[in-house]
A and B are shown apart, each in its own frame.
Chain A
Amino acid sequence: MTALPRPEAMAPAGSAAHALELRGLSKRYGSFTAVDAVSLRVERGQFLTLLGPSGSGKTTILMAIAGFVAPSAGAVLLDGADITALPPERRDFGMVFQGYALFPHMTVAENVAFPLRVRRLGQAAREAKVRAALDLVQLSAFAERRPSQLSGGQQQRVALARALVFEPDLLLLDEPLSALDKKLRAELQEELKALHRRIGRTFVNVTHDQEEALSLSDQVAILNHGKLVQMGAPEALYERPRTRFVADFLGKSNFLRGTVREVRPDMMALQAGGTRLLQAVQGAHPAPGTPALLSLRPEKIALLAGEEAADNAVAGRIEAWAYLGAGYALTVATDDLGPLRVALPAWRAPIAPREGLPVRLGWSAEAAVPVLEDADGA
């Protein structure tokens, strides 16, 4: 169970990576449930991000995968083998800690060599691997520096090199980019993604930054109050959120409330005050007369010119607006749907926004998505 195959060199995608599975994982601290029966599966070579607000249990899950937190119930499986009881030092996972946790009394090279040293690797092999790992993160010139002499981004890359140098089957990342400024974060996101493609290992990342989750991951698991709310590819989560929480946490969203009036095979009509909304339906069809909640992304709302027609159209006045460079963020007050957030590209915007300006908003029947109200907060 403990003797995991150890590849001699960084192997191409898939062959050395491992599949990780959580089955009904729970962690309780007294009466507080930090993680509530989370089950999920990461396939070989995939990049999974655990995304959630603070206190959602994402870090606890990562620590349980790493072996630092003993779950109250459930199991952690690696390629089908139960590793729940295995101590962290025998799991052979690479990990990048929040704040990096570089050893301050060691040089960069010594830090990177540490995992190899505890594995009693010979000096020649050790030096070669350290050099290769530092090359990988482009820090070869800094091998003899101390961590305190490096910038935040460089420290982050040392932590990455240290986590990868012993060719772990699984790399765990705990908010790896949160301590960096925005521009550097974007740069390192790209590097991290390229690195994942290049070495093809399974990555499990924890973040509260939804942009980071969307841009890096193959799969995103959204957590709230210790529960797994929805898991899927970034596009699927963004385009088809299952609950109000997912739609709200991943990007921005307007929520439209109405009562189902009429249902046809692919279409339904909702009544929201005096406004009739046309909405495409997939899967389950709600019964006429029941309340419905729609999530409508701000960028899917268009400004209608003159008498231009749309599946859905509503009149309102600009209540507030902000110029963001690439676009305008408008808040439009409507009678039946409340304030609606609208993202308008600034380049050739049809109007010059000002407060009180009357506008007509329109969106197609496919633009919004029916979502569920959050059950007991999740």
Chain B
Amino acid sequence: MTGNNNSIIKKMEQIINSDIDLNTRKDDIKELFKEFKKANKKLNKILTIGDKIQRKDYDGLKIKLNEIRELNDEVERTQKEVLSTIGTIAEFRSNETGLHVQRVSWYAKILGKNYGLNEREVDLLFHAAPMHDIGKIAIPDAILNKPSKLSFEEFEIMKTHAKLGYEMINDSDRPLLVAASIIAHEHHENWDGSGYPRGLSGDNIHIYGRIIALVDVFDALGSDRCYKKAWDNDSIFNYIKKESGKHFEPKLVDIFFSNLDEIINVKNKLENRIK
């Protein structure tokens, strides 16, 4: 193809390296200079067009990348909102207001962060927490909303909500749903192994399960339920201290009390407005 800089360079070298007096080759040099100018002009043109192409490509990529980011955010926000809504639906069946699941999420976030979970884990915990009682949608109303103490058989049925909740969502491999399935499954396990459904103990209970176990009890004791009135804070704190090492992981109990102000702050902000 024409206008090749290499061919110009080659011709120049031939002239320079020859023994002939350059004055006698003025015409050749002039011709070469003309060629060089043409090639240079072409090169500049290529650069101009190349720059324009590059700018268009880069601008286009940036726009696409932003679109993908926005779409991704939208997908994540939708997932989180759907989980929160489903969790609230489960709460409504127990004549709760939906604020319980919100409070549990916020308490869990405080404990998770101070336990040393990374930002992503805390985020998953926060957004999956509302699903902890999702299994309750499969528990009959007569048991779920019974105003008196459950019989042994009724309590056995009630206990199945943990496994049922897990089974409802454990097919997914989406991180948020995996976290939700763990929480649904393990939030009634006790640190000493006396919980259900599997009687797991200590570190065998996922940290999400251990955290939700504590904050769920804390919130439930402080709320009116169909079968009991709300406890006062001191009684709740005494209970939590008493259950450290039994129902709850001692380290989490310590973290709970170290961050009590923040926890009470959440409680006051998200107090039940509808009883």
A binds B: no
Chain B positions within 8 Å of A, measured between CB atoms, are none
